[in-house]
Structure 1
Amino acid sequence: MTTPKIGKLIIFSAPSGSGKSTIVGHLLQKNFNLEFSVSATSRAPRGAEVNGRDYYFLSADEFRAKIENQEFLEWEEVYADTYYGTLRSEVDRITQQGKNIVFDVDVVGGANIKKMYGNRALALFIQPPSIDELEQRLKNRGTDSPDKIAMRLAKASEELTWAPRFDVVLVNDDLDKAKQEAEKILTNFLSQS
Structure 2
Amino acid sequence: MDEKLKKFLDKNTGMDAEQNSEIMQDLEVKQYLKGEILLNQGEISRNCYTVLSGCVRQYKTLEDGREITVAFFTEEQAIVLFNSYKFQIPSEYSLACVEDVILLEGNLESEEKLYSKYPELQLVTRNIMETNFGKEQEDRAIFMSLTPEERYINLTINRPDLLKRVPQHQLASYLGIKPESLSRIKKRLSTASN
TM-score by length of 2: 0.32
More helix by share: 2
Larger Rg: 2
